[in-house]
Amino acid sequence: MRVTAAALCVMGIACAANAGALTLDDLSIGTILAGDSVLGDTNGSSNDMNGVLIATSIFSWSGNDDVYTLNWGGGDLVLDLFYTAADGDLDMFVFDSNLAGSAIGTSLTTSDDEQIELLGLAAGTYYVSVDGWSDAANSYTLNVSVPAPASMALLGLGGLVAGRRRR
């Protein structure tokens, strides 16, 4: 099993720092869906996602991390990660493969909160990683939302106005 993990890392297909954890399914601590809000804390987590390949650069997040499996029905997706950076800087990644390869979305700020918006995301299984920067660990809230189209919001507002006039 470790030989397979080493071969995958050498080939650049996957390189989760923990050679015993080959896939993001192995690291996932739960499944999230549209509309979910999850309270999490990387203080009790392990450091499995160190050295993730993002595009053509390798970044090293040495802090603890949490991985979630996202079952997505398709369409626009917004992920919000709320935390206080002064207590420990967190970053967020979205992967479209069970192997820790290139991320399809990242948020790497040094301020409070992270956000990833993916427009027209195909239905499928994705993986969201919340990862500490430079040995950081922190508590957080992760929200999975589907943004309401502006036209639908206006239609709803129009319905409210029409409903008020009838009374």
User: Over the stretch 63-80, which tens digit does the pLDDT of each residue have?
Assistant: 899 999 999 999 999 999
Low-confidence residues in the chain, pLDDT < 70: 1-22, 51-61, 149-167
Average of per-residue pLDDT values in the chain: 78
Instruction: Sketch out the chain's domains with CATH numbers.
Output: 23-166 (2.60.120.380)
Task: Give the pLDDT confidence score for residue 86 in this predicted structure.
Answer: 95
State the pTM of this model. 0.74
Q: Quickly count: other Cβ atoms within 10 Å of residue 100's Cβ.
A: 28
Task: Give the pLDDT confidence score for residue 121 in this predicted structure.
Answer: 96
Tokens of 32: 């999230």
Task: Give the pLDDT confidence score for residue 45 in this predicted structure.
Answer: 92
Separation of CA 130 from chain center: 6
Task: Give the pLDDT confidence score for residue 49 in this predicted structure.
Answer: 78
User: Nearest to residue 119, comparing CAs of 72, 162, 155?
Assistant: 72
**133-156: pLDDT as tens digits:** 888 999 999 999 988 765 344 445
